[in-house]
Structure 1
């Protein structure tokens, strides 16, 4: 039995002895991960096989190339991840459940043995995610459920590339590889904002270098346009988050005033957006849980960009500086990131 599979089975057995309230969640998580590991196929063997469909072959070659680029050019870990492929035969790999109080911008958190405390809870079936979300809604929380096409086990297992990401454009598929491998480079249990912002910065840097190496001007311009729209989207959501926070401080804040502000937010975005890239996102509830998902992924990206420049734009020096930040107590780490972010904004 492979070491990773054996470790997962031991974990599953241990979790089965835990409190009854946690058994069903941990069981589905462990069995879902086990299914990925048991059904993966070697990418090298698939590339060499004459039976591999041409479209899949092209994507697998890109994954293999992007992984090697991440190791050689970005200094990310060479631990066997993304050397295999798994067809999960569904639209998403997992469904994440986010929740927050109905009148406060503070996400609920759940704590796990490996990841630490995070602001979401993942399920391998949509029905299980919606059942859990429904329970939270009955308790009065805002809930947002989002499908996710990939995740990282942070180097605990050699993650396969799932079929759910193969529909991504080439530059975004490469970006996914860089993002998830960055999580394996540095990860702070319990600090989702830090982890996702760091991985998002490495992803952006990696995609820029990747496209420059390939001298792909068309995709590079597309990427720059996407980055600019993403920046505007992030700033837009953060601005409206502040408006909701101001609303909740008013003594007469209620569900009706909250829904009015949500509709105003939708209309404001429609008036300034032309690409339609985020139309699906704005079709969601725009409740507190959904709004908080955006800040989680991008809050500290400008701070990491400033730290990269301070490190002489040398990735090894940058990673060492990030490691030093990761070792700080949470409050001091946040303060350092705020200073870095302020410097970035002042340039």
Structure 2
């Protein structure tokens, strides 16, 4: 099927949303219009991996990354039991990120703002194909009193509804990190529960990390495996500090005896302490950012909580199944019929 035919199929998927858009606000219509345009651009510019690999004008670097991705797709299908209809095409967007994502949270709450979307339910972020649109959205939310954070994203999944292409935005990654990204996005097409962002991202993270370990062992690349595991341990230490700070902030916000200014001072102190500890663990870390503690807020902290809070619970379930990925996936899929609180209880995660 030609890429233009695929693009028309994509258009029909988007046009199916139009009846819902007619009853939305102007801002909502504008959001979905930019989303449709951004997705269409990706499909127009995509070419099959085979075509790109046969193109003499394409750099050796791009071809080598595509060859690796083909290897990863094959491994994902045969050994990780993941659907692999995505990543069979390549698109060069000629920019560093595919979308820019806006996170928001009230000034005195660690609970992130949610947006509702057709098909996928509520998510704790809002994505824009143009950075300027993301900045505008963030400013509007900030003016309403929210903590906000805008971050560039190198990849995203359409959850198996569409065949997502390989993007230039993530080809710079190391072999192990590229494998983790590919396995992560393919996992979303395996199991995705509408409206439960934390569950979906933590499952994809746990499954992808395990996939990388198995892939590297299958290649007997134990040097890279040791390096990968070392990086994961360091990352987990930093993440632990951030989740610890999140718990401390919950206590601050629950203290009814603090006035607004005292609450703000306590909030700043929590972030300062978190960053001091992080810089001891990783002196070269960029966690502090150009603004130090003022650059951190509830919204930015939620970018970490979204991906990692439930990961240990998923790792425990995989271990209970003796490392059997199919049994693991089956149990995770069975949680679809439960509500959010029931899933959190199974995963050993306290309700925020």
Q: TM-score range by the shorter chain?
A: over 0.9
Partner residue in 2 for 1:344: none
2:101 corresponds in structure 1 to: 96
1:70 to 70, 76, 93: 76
Pair 1:298-2:308 in alignment: yes
Counterpart-to-counterpart distance in 2, 1:282 and 1:221: 34
1:116 equivalent to 2:121? Answer yes
Q: Which residue of 1 aligns with 2:279?
A: 270
The answer on 1:153 being equivalent to 2:136 is no
SS in 2 for 1:144: strand
1: distance between equivalents of 2:175 and 2:267? 39
Q: Given that residues 242 and 304 in structure 2 are in contact (C-alpha distance below 8 angstroms), is that contact kept between their aligned partners in structure 1?
A: yes
Q: In the aligned structure 1, how far is the partner of 2:51 from the partner of 2:200?
A: 33
Report the count of equivalent residues: 339
Q: Does 1:8 align with 2:13?
A: yes
Which secondary structure does the structure 2 equivalent of 1:135 belong to? helix
Q: Render the CA deviation track for 1:305-336: whole Å, top value 9, x for unaligned.
A: 11112223111111111111122122222211
Q: Deviations over 1:100-143 (max 9, x none)?
A: 01011111000100221010000001110010000000000100
**CA–CA separation in structure 2 for the residues paired with 1:265 and 1:306:** 27
Contact 1:237/1:291, CA 8 A, preserved across alignment: yes
Partners of 1:48 and 1:88 in 2: CA distance? 20
RMSD between superposed Cα atoms in Å: 2.0
Question: What is residue 112 of structure 2 aligned with on the other side?
Answer: 107
**Once structures 1 and 2 are overlaid, which stretch shifts more, 269-278 or 321-330?**
269-278
State the TM-score, normalizing by the size of structure 2: 0.91
Task: State the partner residue of 2:29.
Answer: 23
1:58 is matched with 64
CA separation of 1:21 and 1:276: change in aligned 2, threshold 3 A: closer
Give unmatched runs, 5+ long, in structure 2.
none
Partner SS, residue 317 of structure 2: helix
- The TM-score, its normalising length taken from structure 1, stands at 0.92
Contact 1:16 1:27 in 2 (8 A): no
* 8 Å Cα contact 1:46-1:52 kept in structure 2: yes
Whether contact under 8 Å (1:15, 1:23) holds in the other structure is no
Distance 1:25 1:154 in 2: 20
Q: Distance in 2 between the 1:277 and 1:174 partners?
A: 24
How far apart, in 2, do the equivalents of 1:211 and 1:37 lie?
A: 32
The equivalences for 1:209-220 within 5 A come to: 209-220=214-225
1:321 to 317, 323, 331: 331
| Partner SS for 1:105 | coil
Instruction: Extract unaligned runs of 5+ from structure 1.
Output: 342-347
- Cα pair 1:40 1:84 within 8 Å, conserved: yes
Residue 197 (structure 2) aligns with: 192
Q: 1:246 to 1:282 in 2, by over 3 A?
A: farther
Give the superposition deviation at 1:12: 5.8
